[in-house]
Amino acid sequence: MAAHAMRLPRRRRWPKRVLAFLATVAFLGSGVLIAYMVMPEKDAPAPPATSAATNGAAPKAKPALTKAQKQARHAAVAKLSAEGYEPVRLADWRAGPKLKVLVGTTDSGAMRAFFFSGARFVGHDDPATSTNLRVAKSTKDSVTLAYKVSTGGAEKVRFELQDGKIVATGGTIPPSSIR
**What domain range is 167 assigned to?**
67-178
- Burial letters for 35-55: b for 16+ Cβ neighbours within 10 Å, e otherwise? eeeeeeeeeeeeeeeeeeeee
Per-residue pLDDT of 120-138, as tens digits, reads 999 999 999 999 999 999 9
For the segment 18-35, the average pLDDT, to the nearest whole number, is 85
Q: What is the amino acid identity at position 24?
A: T
In a domain, 57, yes or no: no
In a domain, 134, yes or no: yes
For the segment 139-155, the average pLDDT, to the nearest whole number, is 92
DSSP 93: S
* Distance (Å, whole) CA 79 – CA 121: 8
Q: Is the pLDDT of residue 45 over 60?
A: no
Q: What is the amino acid identity at position 107?
A: D
Length of the chain as a residue count: 179
> Is 122 in contact with 163 (CB distance < 8 Å)?
no
In a domain, 38, yes or no: no
Res 29: pLDDT: 84
Res 102: pLDDT: 95
In a domain, 7, yes or no: no
- The model's confidence at residue 175, banded by pLDDT at 50, 70 and 90, is very high
Q: Which residue has the higher pLDDT, 169 or 10?
A: 169
For the segment 99-112, the average pLDDT, to the nearest whole number, is 95
| pTM over the 0.85 mark | no
| E strand map for the chain | 86-87, 99-105, 111-117, 120-124, 133-138, 142-148, 154-162, 165-170
Per-residue pLDDT of 53-84, as tens digits, reads 445 555 566 667 888 888 999 999 999 999 99
Res 149: pLDDT: 93
Per-residue pLDDT of 153-165, as tens digits, reads 999 999 999 998 9
Count of domains observed in the chain: 1
* Distance (Å, whole) CA 120 – CA 91: 18
Res 84: pLDDT: 96
In a domain, 1, yes or no: no
Helix, coil or strand: residue 114: strand
Q: Is the pLDDT of residue 94 over 50?
A: yes
In a domain, 168, yes or no: yes
In a domain, 142, yes or no: yes
Res 143: pLDDT: 95
In a domain, 6, yes or no: no
Res 51: pLDDT: 46
CB-based burial label for 60 (10 Å; 0-12, 13-18, 19+): exposed
Neighbours of 3 (CB within 10 A): 6
CB-based burial label for 132 (10 Å; 0-12, 13-18, 19+): middle
